[in-house]
Amino acid sequence: MARINWRVALLATAATLAFSPESRADESGISFWLPGLYGSLAATPATPGWSIAAIYYHTSVNASGAAAASREFQVGRFSPTVNINLNVALGGQADLMFIAPTYTFATPVLGGQLSATLASVYGRNSASLAGTLTAAAGPIVTTRNGFLEDALVSYGDLYPTLKLKWNNGVHNYMVYGAGDIPVGDYNPSRLANIGIGHGAIDLGGGYTYLNPTTGTEVSGVGGFTYNFKNPDTQYQSGIDFHFDWGVSQFLSKQVFVGFVGYAYQQITDDFGQPAALGGFRSRVLGIGPQVGYIFPIGSNQAFLGLKGYGEFDAANRASGWNTWLTFSISEAAPASTITPTRHLVRK
């Protein structure tokens, strides 16, 4: 009979933070929120003390029409009155490493568990444009068939997050607040950037159902992003809504499998875009498999997880597929806090 320590299982939540990668929606296809950030066990409490997560993120995306033309508008820095050509194809690929130290407080706050995270990112981003490109020289605007490409290896913005979690038996609840501190490598004339060039605030909440008897788990996290104006381009992205979810089943005390998904929808128009792009509201859905492995490292506990998403039903944004490889480590739960009735299950 396998014995599962559910406080150890909750270590997986150390990998949930807030950040943005390279080219995804809003201005020029770039958004603060990275769909798929949250997943299984998102709202479950963690062991108090320090933890750290390292996430390798790979994505490959493509777009055409308005989603690609918006990137050309950014790098050309045209007046919004320029009627840029929509016969353009965009391709992008990124390999990024996120590091996210977290401190979880032992003293309850409002009856819940408070944690603070500050994430950073370093990696490579590349992008290309091909098709009928618009060029401007003063008041003269022309079009030509051509190809542009760019690649960048550098650092990104900083992403602070505060989370407050509550537990009531199999029910777990969370609220969070996250932001973007725009200190990353960004140039509005480049095709490829790591930073997004503007600040943002994201607020939301989540729920996790975790049944120790059956080993079944279901999670969902939703939130809204408010984007500040980009001081370099005077462009302001609209408000975004996002919902991430995960379902999993523990097969043993160490291994779980399941599915993850997300929905992303911009709910207000952008400001500063050319008339040809309209309100430029972005949308995408994603779904894929996941697997997780929990194991001890000395006196600490570790989590190794892999999940992937295939995207569909995209509008006004690049889409494709992405994978996440997560390794996190935290302090082990004190043995005195683990009781057979609440934190152990036999299977």
Q: Residue-wise pLDDT tens for the chain (347 aa)?
A: 344 444 444 555 545 554 554 444 466 556 789 999 999 999 999 999 999 999 999 999 998 888 888 877 777 666 666 667 778 889 999 999 999 999 999 999 999 999 999 999 999 999 998 887 776 656 666 777 888 899 999 999 999 999 999 999 999 999 999 999 999 999 988 989 999 999 999 999 999 999 999 999 999 999 999 999 999 988 899 999 999 999 999 999 899 999 999 999 999 999 887 766 788 899 999 999 999 999 999 889 999 999 999 999 999 889 999 999 999 999 877 654 333 333 333 33
Do residues 69 and 276 make contact, with C-beta atoms less than 8 angstroms apart? Answer: yes
Long-range contacts of 128-132 (CB under 8 A, 24+ apart): 128/90, 128/91, 128/92, 128/191, 129/68, 129/71, 129/72, 129/88, 129/89, 129/90, 129/191, 130/88, 130/89, 130/91, 131/68, 131/85, 131/87, 131/88, 131/89, 132/85, 132/87, 132/88
Which tokens in the block code for residue 234? Answer: 């005077």
**Distance from C-alpha of 33 to C-alpha of 30, rounded to nearest angstrom:** 9
Do residues 214 and 220 make contact, with C-beta atoms less than 8 angstroms apart? Answer: no
**Distance from C-alpha of 206 to C-alpha of 41, rounded to nearest angstrom:** 10
**Distance from C-alpha of 122 to C-alpha of 127, rounded to nearest angstrom:** 17
Nearest to 36 by CA among 56, 16, 52: 16
**Distance from C-alpha of 22 to C-alpha of 95, rounded to nearest angstrom:** 10
Residue 187 gets which letter from DSSP?
-
Stated pTM of the model: 0.87
pLDDT for 158 equals 97
Give the end-to-end CA distance of the chain in Å, rounded to a whole number: 5
**Distance from C-alpha of 281 to C-alpha of 330, rounded to nearest angstrom:** 39
**Distance from C-alpha of 222 to C-alpha of 262, rounded to nearest angstrom:** 10
CB atoms within 10 A of CB 77: 12
Amino acid making up residue 233: T
Which tokens in the block code for residue 112? Answer: 């819940």
